[in-house]
Amino acid sequence: MTETNPYRVSTHDLGRRPGSMRTVELDVVVTEPMGNEVIVVPAGAEISLDLRLEAVMDGVLVTGSATATAQGECVRCLDPVSRDLTLDVTELFAYPGTQQDTVRDEDDEELPELDGEIADLETTITDAVVLALPFQPLCRPDCPGLCSVCGIRLADAEPGHAHEQLDPRWAALSALRDVVGAADDAQDDGEQDSGSTGAPGTGGRG
């Protein structure tokens, strides 16, 4: 926890003078993947922050943008998908200890506070990334997905790719054949077993 947190930005220069501002540009290397089960900004990726810090009456307003590239897979065909994200960042960090008076209603969301003169942007950026990511990423909007019978990518298949639908009665017969085949296999195994063990337990009574 004591390691340098790259998301911590000093607001010291602003001196709590409303209207004073400065810009911050920095690249943060992601340490924990950010995202959902199907698409993330992976660990090791960079998030570029282009921010403006402005002192206001109650705190420091951080606005600007963050850009990053997310990696995932298409939920229909499982092809790799990458998404360039551009996120709007807007967060007001309250000066420490100034919120008791203003936050009365439970509806009022408590603002993040400056840690001394430091704005820790990690939660802000993580939330913005997670919100921007799709839950159902697609390689392309009209991705046809995979064939439900043979599993090939329909985008690669010949037009009108389809399988002959078996007559249900034939399907039943085919299933029966599988069962019989399996039984034959089991019988073969059984004979081998009894031959090698001399069938103990068959003449126990008497």
Which residue in 77, 119, 128, 129 binds Zn ion (CB under 5 A)? 77
Q: How far apart are CA 69 and CA 85, in angstroms?
A: 6
Site for Zn ion in 149-168 (CB under 5 A): 149-150
Q: Is 74 in the site for Zn ion (CB under 5 A)?
A: yes
User: Measured on CA atoms in the order 132, 135, 141, 146, is the torsion positive or negative?
Assistant: positive
Residue 166 burial class via C-beta count within 10 angstroms: exposed 0-12, middle 13-18, buried 19 and up: exposed
User: Measured on CA atoms in the order 154, 156, 158, 163, is the torsion positive or negative?
Assistant: negative
Of 167, 143, 163, 164, whose CA–CA distance to 153 is shortest? Answer: 143
Q: Is 147 in the site for Zn ion (CB under 5 A)?
A: yes
From 13-21, 68-76, 126-134, 173-181, give the range in contact with Zn ion by CB under 5 A.
68-76
Q: Is 139 in the site for Zn ion (CB under 5 A)?
A: yes
Which of 17/163 has CB closer to Zn ion?
163
From 86-94, 114-122, 139-147, 196-204, give the range in contact with Zn ion by CB under 5 A.
139-147
From 17-25, 74-82, 105-113, 117-125, give the range in contact with Zn ion by CB under 5 A.
74-82
H/E segment holding residue 175: helix 168-197
Q: Which residues bind Zn ion (CB under 5 A)?
A: 74, 76-77, 79, 139, 143, 147, 149-150
